[in-house]
Amino acid sequence: MSDGLNVAVLGATGAVGREFLDLFEKRAFPVKSLRLLASERSAGVAIPFRGTDVKVETVNEKSFSGVDVAFFSAGAGRSRQWAPVAIDAGAVVVDNSSAFRMDPTVPLVVPEINFDSVRPENRLIANPNCSAIILLMAVAPLRKLGTIGRLIVSTYQSASGGGAAMMQDLLDQSKAYLEGRPVIPKVTPHPYAFNLFSHNTAIDATGANEEESKVVAESQKILEMPELKINVTCVRVPVLRAHSESVTVEFVDKAPSEELVRQTLAQTEGVRVVDDRASNHFPMPWESSGQGDVLVGRIRQDPSHPSAVCLFVSGDQLLKGAALNAVQIAEKIFAKASVSV
């Protein structure tokens, strides 16, 4: 491993794909060679990396030959198509799509929480839903304070969750609104500028949308708490990047004190407590954007429930909610592999 890794990124021209390259630079990820892969539409695009331009290639059956680790962020269909090819070629695949998250044979990993679920034989690792990652970074540490019986969550999800096209659509709609022109959505199902709406995924027979169902199922799997009760409402808000969440944590027995919750979160890797009541300063997407920590604040007892505490959480959807979490998984896998060699 000392010579570095042969790395591939599928979906290299998307919002998350670009974050991978930035993280490789900032974290000194050991890239020996880099292969950027996308659809034919993006082939030939040159992307700067470590002082040189790397051209995007059209993904094909030979794209993963010699690759050690492949980061996928091109949608579930592409992942189902190309993950087996990459694995057969010898690569470890860290997949950012929903394709394999609920497969019982595939680890669904947030490194700070359940990296021990990864075994040496696992060649495919699923990166969780962004909202689930941000939620669990705040909730998982509280398990040491008592048994959690229920979570009530409302999300405030940014445009970055819909990719670069949705981010641009929000900018274009905002500009049109401020200039007094008609707001015509091109990507979102409803006007997005100065508006909010239920997360733009299909509604099932129970009334839940797909995003809400993902957060429930994935949280239960990551925490290894299949019976955990979770009620989630997911909403798009006109924020460019970084998701925020209002969270109520109900304990089976007496709730821990505010101070104990605050101390526990302050000692948690990847979490930063922002909880200044005197200045009314709490987690905001303005401050969580562009950095890797999940911000947690508004820590308080629930006055309506004797065994519950309330939190407000904010984290960068493109970083800890996607690319950063995936890179951290790979760092741990290959650090572990280099020790065992």
**Structure confidence by residue, pLDDT tens digits, 267-276:** 999 999 999 9
Band (pLDDT 50/70/90 cuts) for residue 336 is low
Asked whether residue 1 carries a pLDDT value surpassing 50, the answer given is: no
**132-317 has the same fold as 5-127+321-340:** no
Q: Where are the domains of the chain?
A: 5-127+321-340, 132-317
Q: Catalytic residues, which ones?
A: 130, 243
The CATH class given to the 132-317 domain equals alpha beta
pLDDT-derived band at 2, boundaries 50, 70, 90: low
Q: Model pTM? A: 0.95
Please state, rounded to an integer, the average pLDDT across all residues of the chain.
95
CATH top class, domain 5-127+321-340: alpha beta
Q: What is the pLDDT of residues 238-270, one digit of tens each?
A: 999 999 999 999 999 999 999 999 999 999 999
* 250: phi then psi, degrees, rounded to nearest 5: -100, 125
